[in-house]
Amino acid sequence: MSPLLRHPAAKPLLFALCALPLAQLVWGAANNSLGANPAEALIRGLGDWTLRLLCLSLAITPLRQALNQPLLARFRRMLGLWAFAYASLHLLAYAWLDMGLVPGDIVRDIAKRPFILMGFLAWALMLPLAATSFNRAIRALGGARWQALHRLVYGLALVGLAHFIWMRAGKNDFAEPAVYGLLLALLLGWRLLRAMRR
């Protein structure tokens, strides 16, 4: 596996794979093929891919250790930044398609609906992580402070999951949130066991 992970085409291929769902959603919106409620399909599709990419980025370290493939770490930053990109587009699509980009309406909706508040909080927690995902920021913060800051990813993953569960609660649809909840429980449990062993 190492030669494949080291190959110059590995990162461009991952970039293309991460961009593919976005391209499909944009294509579907442009061709009116997102179903009866295209705005909702676009907003939820962007949110779904945010959570998927966030889970993938969290899974990199356990997979790297389990498979003894340290080169997997090369792809964690890209997955995290793509997760932030999808989260930002998810927020923008909500603000534009649901709220008409009216700031007052957005603020009132965040205050009125707890699941919207949780989603906004998750995005706000992602913002400093994305802003410090570059080598210059790592050098400026120092390794220890940078690592401490980036442990926020586990908290924001839980907040993002809460946003998803709360949103689905209105329709009593908990099957998909349960899958993400189990996956995050495994990833956080692995992290906790590792910390206890240290």
- pLDDT tens digits along 60-87: 989 998 888 989 999 999 999 999 999 9
Q: Which amino acid is at 165?
A: I
Helices (H), 31-174: 38-66, 76-93, 103-112, 114-131, 135-141, 143-150, 152-169
pLDDT tops 70 at residue 116: yes
What phi and psi, each to the nearest 5 degrees, are found at residue 50? -60, -50
Q: Which of 144, 163, 178, 152 is nearest to 80 (CA)?
A: 152
pLDDT tops 90 at residue 198: no
pLDDT of 1: 66
Which has the higher per-residue pLDDT, 84 or 150?
A: 84
Spatial distance between the Cα atoms of 156 and 125, rounded to a whole number of angstroms: 6
Number of domains in the chain: 1
**If pLDDT is split at 50, 70 and 90, which confidence band does 88 have?**
very high
Q: At what angle do helices 152-169 and 175-197 cross, to 10 degrees?
A: 160
pLDDT tops 90 at residue 50: yes
Looking only at Cα atoms, what is the longest distance across the chain?
Answer: 54
Domain containing 146 equals 2-197
Spatial distance between the Cα atoms of 187 and 60, rounded to a whole number of angstroms: 10
